[in-house]
Amino acid sequence: MTDNHSHETPEVARPVSNFLRAAIDKDNQTGKYAGRVVTRFPPEPNGYLHYGHAKSIILNFGLAASYGGRCHLRFDDTNPLKENPEFEASIADSVRWLGYDWGEHRFHASDYFDDLYRFAEWFIEQGLAYVDGQTAEEMRASRGTLTEPGKESPDRHRSVEENLSLFRQMKAGDFPDGRYVLRLKIDMASPNLNLRDPGIYRIRHAEHHRTRDKWNVYPLYDYTHCISDAKERVTHSICTLEFQDHRPLYDWIINKLADGGMLPRPLPCQYEFARLNLTYVVLSKRFLIELVNGAYVDGWDDPRMPTLVGARRRGFTPAGFKLFAERAGVSKSDSWLDFSLLENAMRDDLNETACRRVAVIHPLKLIIDNYPQDKSEDCFAPNHPKKPELGTRAIPFSRELWIERDDFMETPVKGFFRMAIGQEVRLRYGFLVRCVGVDKDEHGNITAVHATYDPETKSGTEGASLRKVKGNIHWLSVAHAVPAEIRLYDRLFKVPFPGAKNPMGTLEETPVDAVSVELEEIEPKSDVGRSYLDDLNTDSKHIVRGFVEAEAANAQPEERFQFERLGYFVADIKDHQPKRPVFNRTVTLKDTWQA
Ligand code: ATP
Ligand code: MG
């Protein structure tokens, strides 16, 4: 699906330098890759993409584009238990939505299963891999610690023949899951735990969504990833910091295979950057799955979800994500960014690109006593204050209007310049009106406000009186406004660090692993003692019945507007219809509400 309504900004014209660009520049100078720049975005198809992935996508595709290279989309589908085609389709859609195109370069780790298997046999033949029959528990125990070397497995010195025959039996499905693991034979005393005979193949009797029942063994991430990169002739393999200690293994595997003539040189090189950590959200697929399955939100594309499908439904823009990524920069040390940085980027983009419309979301009736009952006339409003070329549109004015409930105060507080009895305000793009009284029901609730208008004060009319008033409010004609469902969203979590020991803590106080970094096979740390679910903002969604002008009601799904004085809104991608308009609030305006 392509997005016709987004306004793409071109790739940054003068890119800010960073350590990745410096590395590429250096390779281009030395001619290491003959000027080729090939990156890749390697999602595991086990969930929907989130804001953090956007950073990685923009980085990988953006770098490639700015060097005239290319970026591959590669599904890292090595774990058949968690993966499915629905996730794959959504991932591809989100990458395209962000404005990127991988062309023919859409790959799967499973494309390489035959090679990966063949290479594994080669490692066995070289005496560089063995089949280990220890239990997972035993393997963990014998792995050692950061301060103690590991212990060699009793199986480490099995003969090549026996290893080959066992590995083939593993492949043939002769053993149950977990009975054996194929491990590289590197160094059980290495200070780097990743080099202590890492597992590269495990038994898994599971149907794979692409290779079906062909395999009973599946390669593990570290082994698969570097080989996939090398086979695709990737030059710069960019990943997040938690893989820094895996780099020696990455290099070990592909160098051995290249020495053996199994992979072409020059080989790819891995670079690590700091993952995106954002306050007020959780960016881990495991948590996102839990939010959806536990019905804490209305599905993956709930506008409050930090997924890219959620962002899209919320009205966030691809250009806003790029602006955010550009401002966040690329760094080599983990840090937290405040959620408001993302909101600001969206605001800044929408301020440029979204047309202005009028909506009243908490309606109160205003009756202009001296305006004829059956008359109406057009007032004219600019579609964009900074883009006169976008023209104006007519907004009908009549005797009965809707205004925002908050724009009237019966007993105005000091400094309240909007509608109050005796006070004159401007109806934006219309007339000056002076409030003369209110109607109340039997409970004393205000049901309507009365005012008189000055016909000599119509905005945009030659010779109109331009006397200044301090209040300037928006309105819609009751007879012309279209009823609309307005969905007001707030942050999904009420604290900056959901689930952390000190969820209100400052950015510095909270350790990065408060939101756990999930690696394959490694459970996220749960030593924080409380759940991020404890910090959910249960009041983050309000649906109200308001009104919009006809020009907004007629929007296409996904069309984005600034509703003047209220914020940025998007016509809901699923539910909006011109006859039954539905708008989601993307983000509020920074500071105009109380003006
Ligand atoms: P999660 O932690 O949400 O489970 P993941 O790393 O397991 O994410 P993958 O599908 O493996 O998800 O990620 C695809 C790519 O996106 C990887 O290169 C990964 O480094 C990158 N990525 C994931 N999360 C972030 C993040 N928060 N910031 C930047 N890049 C990220
Ligand atoms: Mg991962």
Helix (H, G, I), strand (E, B) or coil at 365: strand
286 CA to centre of ligand 1 in angstroms:
12
Separation of CA 108 and ligand 2 centre (Å)? 14
Burial 98-119 (b: 16+ CB within 10 A, else e): bbbebeeeebbbbbbbebbbeb
With CA atoms as reference, report the closest residue to 227 among 61, 107, 55, 63.
107
275 assigned to active site: yes
To the nearest 10°, report the CA torsion of 112, 119, 168, 184.
Answer: -120
Assess contact for 44 and 83: CB atoms under 8 A.
yes
Cα 519 to averaged position of ligand 2 atoms, centre (Å): 6
Q: What integer pLDDT is reported at residue 13 of this predicted model? A: 52
The number of beta carbons lying within 10 Å of the beta carbon of residue 472 is 18
Tokens matching residue 141: 């125990």
Q: Which atom of ligand 1 is nearest to the CA of 44?
A: 10
The beta-strand segments (E) located in 76-154 are 106-108, 129-132
8 A C-beta contact, residue 281 and residue 306: yes
Provide the whole-model pTM.
Answer: 0.92
Measure 28 CA to ligand 1 centroid, in angstroms: 28
Beta pairing class for 70-75 and 106-108: parallel
| pLDDT the model gives residue 446 | 97
C-alpha–C-alpha distance, residues 68 and 558, integer Å? 32
Q: Is 265 labeled as catalytic in the residue annotation?
A: no
What number of CA atoms fall less than 13 Å from residue 101's CA on the CB side?
4
* 223, 255 contact by CB (below 8 A): no
pLDDT of residue 522: 35
Per-residue confidence (pLDDT) for residue 593, from 0 to 100: 31
Q: What is the pLDDT of residue 4?
A: 42
Contacting residues for 11 by C-beta, under 8 A, at least 6 apart: 62, 65, 66
Q: Ligand 1, atom 2: nearest CA belongs to which residue?
A: 284
Q: Are 525 and 225 in contact (CB under 8 A)?
A: no
- Distance, CA 223 to ligand 2 centroid (Å)? 14
Out of 40, 44, 183, 356, the active site residue is 44
In the sheet with 476-477, reading across from the earlier edge strand, the strands are 471-473, 424-427, 432-440, 446-454, 363-368, 400-404, 476-477
Nearest ligand 1 atom to alpha carbon 46: 10
* Atom in ligand 1 nearest the alpha carbon of residue 55: 29
Rounded Cα distance, 16 and 109, in Å: 33
CA 529 to ligand 1 centroid distance, Å? 25
Nearest ligand to the CA of 286 is 1
Pocket test for ligand 1, best of 98, 224, 238, 240 (most atoms within 8 A of CB): 240
* Token pair listed for 146: 């950061």
Between CA 35 and CA 53 the distance in angstroms is 27
Q: What does the block give as tokens for 447?
A: 């049901």
pLDDT < 70 stretches in the chain: 1-14, 506-529, 591-595
* Distance from residue 146's CA to the centre of ligand 1 (Å): 25
List, for residues 263-299, the tens digit of each pLDDT value.
999 999 999 999 999 999 999 999 999 999 999 999 9
Catalytic residue among 40, 275, 314, 393: 275
The verdict on whether 44 is a catalytic residue reads yes
Mutation to probe ligand 1, out of 40, 53, 94 (largest number of atoms < 8 A from CB): 53
Query: Which atom of ligand 1 has the smallest separation from the CA of 283?
Result: 3
Say if CB 314 and CB 489 are below 8 A apart.
Answer: yes
For position 529, what pLDDT does the model report?
Answer: 65
Residue 523: other Cβ atoms inside 10 A:
9
What is the pLDDT, as a whole number, of residue 595?
32
Ligand with minimal distance to 40 CA: 1
Beta pairing partners, 474: none
Q: Are 218 and 209 contacting, i.e. CB atoms less than 8 angstroms apart? A: no
pLDDT of residue 15: 74
120: which 2 tokens? 């594994």
Residues with CB under 6 A from ligand 1: 42-44, 50, 52-53, 55-56, 239-240, 275-276, 283-285, 518
Cβ-based neighbours of 444, under 8 Å, separated by 6 or more: none
The span from the CA of 281 to the CA of 532, in Å, is 9
Kindly identify the ligand whose nearest atom is closest to the C-alpha of 287: 1
Query: What proportions of the chain, in percent to the nearest 5, are helix, strand and coil?
Result: 30, 25, 45
Ligand 1, atom 1: nearest CA belongs to which residue?
A: 284
Among residues 171, 196, 256, 285, the one annotated as catalytic is 285
Res 590: pLDDT? 78
pLDDT value of residue 530: 78
